[in-house]
Chain A
Amino acid sequence: MDVVHDRARIMVEEDRISNLPNEIIHHILSFLDMKYAVQTSALSKKWKHIWTSMKHLNLNSLTSRTSPLFAKFVNDALSHRNHRKEVSAVELSFRGAATQFAAVVTRIVNYAYSHNVRQLTLVWFRLNYEVLQFPQWLFSSHTLKHLTLATHYTSGYGIIVPQSAWNFPALETLNLSDLTLSDPRYKSLNLFSKCVNLKDLILHRCSMSGSGMDIFNVCAPQLSNLTITNPLRFPKVFNVVAPQLQNLTVSVLDTFYRVMQLSIEKLNSLEKVNLSMQLVFSEEGRYAPGLQDLFQKLCGAKFLILDNNIIKVLSACLDQLSYQPCPFNNLKCLKQKDRIPIMPIKVRNYLLQNSPTATFVMDLPQVPRKRSREEVDKGTMAKKVSKFLYAFYPFEYIYV
């Protein structure tokens, strides 16, 4: 009885959503797949055309049984869409062989660019060891502000991108994951020189050198945040010309610290530096010169965050380092990323010797808490993945 009563109560309540502004309905649908959005046309007469003026398009090949069906869906959806409405964001995920998707990716990106898209996300879930070559025209848009390009799963740089400067004058954030950013034809690469408004750059698991290409340039006059994590290949010279750089995050293998020459010019705005190292070879002493060189270049940083491996290296070669004064002279805060073990007092004293007002912070929780089951699992999973990677790419690591 109660159920019947409840049902009756629900039915007499007003239809709130159909009377809300389309902006809210569009916003709700923007979190759902475009197929779902199109299906809402059958809800009621009013809903028939609501989806057609959506500005945020979510496309996922997994919602179609085959790639030709997905291509057909994309074609139909785009041709029924209201062309007078701009597209603000397009998110596209596709899984399968590169050849099956080349045409549909082209169709979608073309549509997005011709409708003044501001945010574009392309994620490719790869099944095999194959490579998708993105054409040059895909790297030119006057409206694009946020771009994410990523390959997912297993190892290595699945997407090859063009090597002449990318033409994104409005671009502010660029997030690249598992891409090949190298070209054997050139010794040096400068991809972002035309991205004059670039503020945030993330290079995750990218390959940035190979067969004779030694120099990777990041020249961006407005760049404020630069993050480089787990590169698969790292260039001999990583050249950063970013006078506005505020935050630098580097998490690379120990061997990269030994060989990399980070060439950084005039970092007057530097605020925060966050350094991590993955130790493969337990020869901590070898990385001291590289670290010292890096510290020299980052000497104006106000916040310095270090992980346990960096601290281990510093600890092992403190005698070598102490011949010279510590380069950091402007630190406000030194922070240890991992909770244990506590940074040796002599390492702390070395790092803070020229920054008398700096504080040392450990990320201690205010109330001790037990780690949840989920976190524990996450931790072990991450470890498994990284071990797998080391096993898979020993050569790159050694030869870089």
Chain B
Amino acid sequence: MSKKTLTLMSKDKQLFNIEEHLAVQSVTIRNMVKEDGASSVIPLPRVDSETLALVIEYLNRQQAPEEDEDYVKKFVDERGEIPTLLELAQAALDLDIKKLMDAACMKVADLIKDFTLEEVREALRIENDRTPEEEKAIRDEFQWAF
């Protein structure tokens, strides 16, 4: 019996094949397969091809269940760049892959946990759109947390 293959399409229209029994680790895909057999291409409009390639690599892993936790941790560790991790988190959210979502978000948290606000802004490319006066006002409003 040949294994059934699904095709996923990234937002930049690249196609990726993956065996169905591996793809259904994604709850989103599992539900699609259940509904209409998912014979055609599954579009993922918020996931770019670079990230989707990573997700496919993740779904294709061949790990013993007891070593899976370690694998997932290592998988995100090796791609420890915050932008990549955020894209992975977005993909994991859209595809509903809990383990990947947890691991990616946890890694980001781990990377920024000792940062000052200024460093967080820089690491996450957040533009400070407040004037110094406005920022002081906010810090005063939440002074019990600073």
- Using a CB–CB cutoff of 8 Å, the interface residues on chain A facing chain B are 10-11, 13-18, 20-21, 23-24, 27-32, 35-36, 38-48, 72-73, 76-77, 80
20 A-B pairs, CB-CB below 8 angstroms? A10-B125, A13-B83, A16-B87, A17-B86, A17-B125, A21-B93, A24-B90, A24-B105, A27-B89, A28-B108, A28-B112, A29-B109, A36-B113, A42-B117, A42-B138, A42-B139, A43-B128, A45-B130, A46-B129, A73-B145
Residue in B83, B122, B142 whose CB lies within 8 Å of A42:
B142
Measured CB to CB, the nearest residue on chain B to A76 is B144
How far apart sit A14 and B117, CA to CA, in the bound complex (Å)? 18
Complex contact A20–B127 (CB within 8 A): no
The SS class assigned to the B binding surface is helix
| Contact A35-B145, Cβ < 8 Å, known A15-B127, A24-B90, A29-B109 | yes
Report, nearest first, the 7 A-B pairs whose CB atoms are least far apart.
A31-B109, A38-B145, A27-B105, A76-B144, A17-B124, A28-B105, A15-B125
CA distance A47 to B134 in the complex (A): 14
Q: Which chain A positions have C-beta within 8 A of B145?
A: 35, 38-39, 73, 76-77
Contact digits for B82-108, partner A, Cβ 8 Å, 1 yes 0 no: 010011011001000000011001101
Complex: how many Å from CA A46 to CA B86? 18
Shortest Cβ distance from A275 into chain B, in angstroms? Answer: 20
Min CB–CB distance B129 → chain A (angstroms): 5
Residue contact B110 to A20, C-beta cutoff 8 Å: no
Question: Which of A14, A39, A42 has the most CB atoms of chain B within a 10 A radius of its CB?
Answer: A42
Give the number of chain B interface residues (Cβ < 8 Å): 33
- Check A45–B129 contact: CB distance below 8 A: yes
Q: Which of B90, B112, B126 contacts A15 (CB 8 A)?
A: B126
Report Cα–Cα, A22/B138, bound state, in Å: 20
How far apart are B91's CB and chain A's nearest CB, in angstroms? 11
Docked complex Cα distance between A20 and B124 (Å): 11
B34-71 residues with Cβ-Cβ distance < 8 A to A are none
Chain A residues near B93 (CB, 8 Å)?
21, 23-24
Query: Is there contact, CB below 8 Å, between A28 and B135?
Result: no
A20 touches B89 (CB 8 A): yes
Q: Identify which of residues 110-124 in chain B touch chain A, using a CB-to-CB cut-off of 8 Å.
A: 110, 112-113, 117, 120-122, 124
Cα-based distance from A77 to B145 in the complex (angstroms): 8
Task: State the Cβ distance, B85 to closest chain A Cβ, in Å.
Answer: 9
Q: Report yes or no: B142 in contact with A10, Cβ–Cβ below 8 A.
A: no
Binding site for A on B (CB under 8 A): 83, 86-87, 89-90, 93, 101-102, 105-106, 108-110, 112-113, 117, 120-122, 124-130, 135, 138-139, 142, 144-146
The answer to whether A44 and B127 touch across the interface, beta carbons within 8 angstroms, is: yes
For A44, what are the chain B residues with a Cβ–Cβ distance below 8 Å?
Answer: 121, 126-130
B-chain residues with CB within 8 Å of residue A35 when the two chains form the complex: 145
Docked Cα-Cα span, A40 to B128, in Å, equals 11
Q: Evaluate contact between A31 and B144: CB separation under 8 angstroms.
A: no
Q: Give A4 to B108 CA distance when docked, in angstroms.
A: 25
Known: A27-B89, A36-B113. A43 touches B120 (CB 8 A): yes
**What is the CA–CA distance of A32 and B121 in the complex, to the nearest angstrom?**
16
- Chain A residue contacts of B127, Cβ below 8 A: 15, 44
**Chain A residue with the shortest CB-CB distance to B111:** A28
A32 close to B113 (CB less than 8 A): yes
B146: chain A residues within 8 A (beta carbon): 39
Which residues of chain A are near B83, meaning CB under 8 Å?
13, 16
Q: Which residues of B contact A48 (CB under 8 A)?
A: 138
Complex Cα spacing A251 to B139, Å? 52
The one of A16, A31, A46 in contact with B105, judged by C-beta atoms closer than 8 angstroms, is: A31
Q: Told that A18-B124, A76-B145 touch, could you supply 12 new A-B pairs with CB distance under 8 A?
A: A11-B125, A13-B83, A21-B90, A24-B90, A28-B105, A31-B105, A31-B106, A32-B112, A42-B117, A44-B128, A44-B130, A80-B142
Complex Cα gap A16–B110 (Å)? 18
B93 → chain A closest CB, angstroms: 6
In the complex, chain B residues whose CB is within 8 Å of the CB of A16: 83, 86-87, 124-125
Give the residues in chain B near A76, CB-CB below 8 Å. Answer: 144-145
The answer, among A10, A20, A80, for a CB contact under 8 Å with B86, is A20
Distance of A352 Cα from B41 Cα, bound (Å):
53
Contact A40 B125 (CB under 8 A): no
In the assembly, what is the distance between CA of A36 and CA of B142, in Å?
12
Cβ–Cβ < 8 Å partners of B135 in chain A: 42
